[in-house]
């Protein structure tokens, strides 16, 4: 993202333009990184959200500025630093919303989605902390430009991910347990023909597909190796 945007959202001094210009933002399913030397790995919320929404924007069926995303993360999404909000007694048996429309992944998400539709200017984005160790569930609400059948919607997603080994389109709404310990993204949806709103649910493991796993996936793609190399195992320790 631009240096001024980074400074605004992260409250940190960005790297110089000379350094930033060497990097390619690498959402593995949609970015050609073969031969690249430097990449920027997407954030965890960004990965789950972008993979859910890009097919709709690419197909031109979404009302771009209608998008609302309700994203929820397990505790490991906050990192290892000690804080009052991550203290066991505050997390256990609790559910907390934080950084409502102020999460630092918002400009990253908008920037990437705009590659698929210049008509998108903003999204409504809320983040919450789940009392679980790991995992992200992003629930997106999108008004469609016209009514679509379930078969048409499945075709849009199946076509977008037909040769993408780590994205699985589900017949039902996905659950966190199905992806924990893996590099998979599971996506399911439900269309409300009364409101003409499509609800899309995407789930990932924030520590793997949302972090180290996608980094390995990108490393494989950068070097022309098998995309799944080293990733079809379950290194689950939590």
Residues belonging to the active site: 44
Rounded distance between C-alpha atoms, residue 111 and residue 123, angstroms:
11
**Strand pairing category for 185-192 and 197-204:** antiparallel
Residue 54, classed as helix, strand or coil, is helix
Tokens 């031969």: give the residue: 35
Tokens 């990449």: give the residue: 39
How would you label 97-111 residue by residue, b for 16+ Cβ within 10 Å and e otherwise? eeeeeebbbbbbbbe
Q: What share of the chain is helix, strand, coil (3-state, %, to 5)?
A: 30, 20, 50
Tokens 């991910």: give the residue: 161
φ/ψ of residue 236, rounded to 5 = -85, 125
User: E strands of the chain, at which residues?
Assistant: 24-25, 39-40, 68-73, 96-98, 124-129, 136-143, 167-169, 185-192, 197-204
């Amino acid at each position: 993202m631009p240096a001024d945007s980074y400074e605004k959202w992260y409250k940190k001094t960005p790297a110089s333009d000379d350094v930033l210009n060497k990097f390619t933002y690498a959402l593995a399913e949609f970015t050609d990184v073969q031969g690249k030397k430097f990449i920027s790995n997407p954030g965890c919320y960004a990965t789950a959200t972008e993979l859910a929404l890009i097919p709709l924007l690419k197909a031109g069926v979404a009302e771009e500025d209608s998008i609302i995303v309700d994203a929820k993360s397990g505790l490991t999404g906050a990192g290892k630093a000690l804080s009052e909000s991550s203290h066991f007694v505050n997390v256990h048996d609790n559910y907390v919303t934080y950084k409502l429309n102020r999460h630092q992944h918002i400009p990253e998400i908008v920037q990437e989605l705009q590659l698929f539709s210049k008509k998108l200017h903003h999204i409504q984005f809320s983040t919450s902390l789940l009392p679980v160790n790991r995992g992200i569930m992003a629930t997106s609400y999108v008004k469609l430009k016209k009514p679509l059948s379930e078969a048409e919607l499945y075709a849009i997603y199946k076509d977008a991910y037909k040769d993408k080994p780590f994205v699985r389109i589900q017949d039902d709404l996905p659950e966190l347990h199905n992806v924990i310990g893996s590099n998979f993204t599971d996506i399911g949806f439900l269309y409300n023909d009364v409101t003409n709103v499509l609800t899309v649910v995407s789930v990932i493991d924030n520590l793997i597909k949302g972090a180290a796993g996608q980094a390995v996936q990108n490393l494989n793609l950068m070097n022309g190796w098998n995309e799944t190399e080293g990733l079809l195992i379950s290194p689950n320790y939590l």
